[in-house]
Amino acid sequence: MTRREIRAISDTAWNPVAKRDRRADGSFVYAAVTTGIYCRPSCPARHPHRRNTLLFHTAEEAEREGFTPCSRCSPGSNSLTLAEKCVTAVIKYLDTHFREKITLCTLSRVTGLCPNHLQETFKRIVGVSPKALCDAKRLNHFKQLLRNGETISTATYSAGYESSRAVYEQSGRRMGMTPSTYQRGGEGVTVRFSITGAPLGRLLVARTERGICALLIGEDDKLLIGELQGQLPKAVLVRDKITPAKLIAAAQSCQSEDPLISKLPDASRKQVFEVKLWKALQ
């Protein structure tokens, strides 16, 4: 690639650099001729003048031209910025510690970031707060315990809730029914559901008169319906003839995801999307 060709790419890619758009990370890097350093598009460092900026398709190309990676944004192939490493560390920590009482101070010790900076960084990249993600993990585990036949009392404390009151406060907004009704497989409850498209496949949203009771993501409509029936075997399931416009709009509003989230395992990506969608629908 000649320097003239590189400058031609710069004309079409300067906009995401100017906006520090994280969605462009991984598609190219830019280099400052004056400093000899190359960066990812979202780098927080001060921009070089456009006339002194070269763009490359890959980090390898930039290094072959003699440029060195920026220490602030870590633009090398498959490398993570400090912020990305901290977010990844928090998600992994929540995966194994969601039953415990977790505060921003706890997560600050895990990552090394101050609590406020951690909160802002996590929400900017993930789209929800660490607490929202932790609450979702805890509630999903609680529901799984009930489906496994545990008593409400045992499931409450095994999932990490400090009291039954905390469970009932969550259940009204996130289960669409009381824990005892959920434990009985939704007996006596009518559940309406719709299926639409989602970033990772098909999305099923089920609700009762009290609120949303299930968000499921999969590749096949029949399998999703079967999963809903497995969770609520005694409920009356009714599929909407027309998918509510509110659901379609909420799903579309949650389509965009940070490049870091797209690198996570599918299970983590699905849970992040589900939490974002819960927030949008509530």
Task: Evaluate whether 90 touches 107 at the Cβ level (below 8 Å).
Answer: yes
Alpha helices per DSSP H over the chain: 3-18, 59-64, 82-97, 104-111, 115-126, 130-147, 152-158, 164-174, 179-183, 221-231, 245-253, 259-262, 266-281
Tokens of 189: 């409850």
CA distance 156 to 143: 10
CA distance 245 to 235: 25
Determine the longest span between alpha carbons in the chain, in angstroms: 71
Q: Which residues are catalytic?
A: 39, 43, 70, 73
Phi, psi of 170 (to 5 degrees): -70, -40
Residue whose token pair is 């993930």: 126
Rounded (to 5) percent helix, strand, coil in the chain? 50, 15, 35
CA distance 164 to 222: 35
Task: Evaluate whether 178 touches 254 at the Cβ level (below 8 Å).
Answer: no
Residue whose token pair is 């609120």: 211
